Structure 1
């Protein structure tokens, strides 16, 4: 509900024309995407326990003043604009304990908006994405209320440690990602290289990785979104997998906020793993302007004494 309310605040912008840039044409892509992730798909209930995103891509978002803070990309690249509202929640291994589990993951929840700009170059088969991220971490995100309500409805154990979660603090960050096609075979296999860096009060990291797609699909760089849901016709069906390595500089869900030091419990910097692997794999089914995706994600241990963790994710995208 909070994601929808925040998105509705942007609706007045959608009726106005976007500023023209003759050197960088504007993408006509219009789409809405919802993502739901939960580790319950693997019958676990700890670490990253639940997340949701709501993404709007629309050319009118080019009117937002934040476009001046986002890199424009090379001349001739097609510009796409969007905003993602993101909610994620984290817990320790045992949510039934009504005390601080020293050495375990802290309770944490955040909610933020990621205002992004894509610079897509189909001829060079590459894309630059930059994003400004603004929001907050802490009880105001509603993690305690949401998880408690879901567990009561489903008859699961009620979480008892949310009173020790990381306290309210602002999130401010900037993220840049670059994608480049490495090889393509017979229009049914694509391998891409990815690099990404984030500097902010929530996450600071540098990452590099690979994305593999195999099946029947439109080329990844055929439009500014990468799935071509805004203009494609017919069927697409393919599998995809990613592998990424991250060098971690800061993780506020483990270390607390940079702006305050009154959190009931956080991990020491020496306990945070500075090298983390992440991977995912799933299938995508698309027809005309609708796209469905089911995937599983995995992350290596993020702090000393932690376990690796996995969760499931469902995505639906609709173009309009």
Structure 2
């Protein structure tokens, strides 16, 4: 497990040497895994890998916008039951599923420290999403246990998803602030919304140019920032309302096949999440390390679940 953790950090740092040094563009990698927390668990949201490219766009000097960023991302999420090895269908308390997608975002960041991030994704759930071979590769590479259970995974389906994220500064002192953080999803794969505060403590910048809003790329110099570099701790509790989740309920338009071994679940309407993290930047590097805790999202889940997320970004031109 420790070898896996250090291997991931080396990969994040190694990728940064590929680019020249400027600040209007950035490339990032995020890796999620429950084993990073050192609890010996391998369940539910078990692994995620994401690649980001973001480019700052020109902003009118007299307008209300302070920053504007176009983003492209490619990612995969994998889910299994209470373990990646189940004896039979009776042990599947959360459906096996993978979601692989490509998407784009437009991040609008205003001078009054409100932000609006719009996104669209097209992706796949089911065997075509590649969850089983990727998890087998991880387990074989690091000497983990043999998998069994992907024969019960969600069937193939194409997903089209739209998203909107809104943040707004509520109050600030010299070393602490609180913001409103919210999102809404609408699509064939994921529909729902979430709302909660974001507390930051330390050396942070305004929401229009901060790690917190994925807005550290800028086409023009940001001369009015609170700090040259960021180093802060944050806490983000959130209540999430789930209307539809294809990784739990299966594809919205896929028909039931009586010959299929697919096991779906019944989603819980409300899920409470908590995220504890630290964000820091220096020169052209940005990092975000967080631990995320979720209450049960499926009626039959035996446990709640948690994982860690490590994000590394390099800014260039």
User: In structure 1, what is the Cα distance between the partners aligned to 2:263 and 2:28?
Assistant: 33
Matched-pair contact (CA < 8 Å) for 2:84–2:148? yes
1:289 to 280, 284, 306: 284
Alignment correspondent of 2:293 = 298
CA distance in 2 between counterparts of 1:58 and 1:267 reads 39
Partner of 2:247: 253
1:243 aligns with 2:237: yes
Q: Which residue in the other structure is 1:19 paired with?
A: none
Matches within 5 A, 1:117-266: 117-122=106-111, 124-186=112-174, 188-222=175-209, 226-228=214-216, 230=218, 234-261=228-255, 262=257, 264-266=261-263
SS of the counterpart of 1:254? helix
2:42 corresponds in structure 1 to 45
Instruction: Report the CA distance between 1:97 and its aligned residue.
Output: 2.2
Report SS of the residue matched to 1:220.
coil
Q: 2:28 aligns with which of 28, 33, 56?
A: 33
1-side partners of 2:297 and 2:191: how far apart? 14
Unaligned 5+ segments in structure 1 are 1-27, 63-74
User: How far, CA to CA, are the matches of 1:164 and 1:103 in structure 2?
Assistant: 8
Alignment partner for residue 311 of structure 1, among 276, 286, 307?
307
SS of residue in 1 equivalent to 2:85: coil
Q: Equivalents in 1 of 2:215, 2:108: separation in Å?
A: 15
Q: Secondary structure, in 3 states, of the residue corresponding to 1:150?
A: helix
Aligned to 2:70: 81
TM-aligned CA deviation for residue 285 of structure 1: 2.1
Deviation at 1:227, TM superposition (A): 4.9
CA shift, 1:223, in A, is 6.6
- Structure 2 stretches lacking a partner, 5+ long: 1-22
Deviation of 1:242 after TM superposition, in Å, equals 0.7
CA–CA distance in 2 between the matches of 1:236 and 1:118? 20
CA positional deviation for 1:76: 3.3
C-alpha deviation, 1:301, in angstroms: 0.6
Could you tell which deviates more after superposition, 128-137 or 225-234? 225-234
- C-alpha contact (below 8 Å) 2:80/2:95 kept by paired residues: yes
Matched residue, 2:15? none
**CA distance in structure 2 between the partners assigned to 1:103 and 1:158 by the alignment:** 16
Encode CA deviations 1:205-242: one digit per residue, 9 max, x unaligned: 01111111111122222379545355678532111111
In 2, distance between residues paired with 1:278 and 1:189? 22
Higher normalized contact order (CA 8 Å, seq sep 6+, divided by chain length): 2
SS in structure 2 of the partner of residue 222 of structure 1: coil
User: Structure 1 247/151 Cα, relative in aligned 2: closer, same or farther at 3 Å?
Assistant: same
Q: How big is the shift at 1:83?
A: 1.3
Distance between the aligned counterparts of 2:229 and 2:109, measured in 1? 23
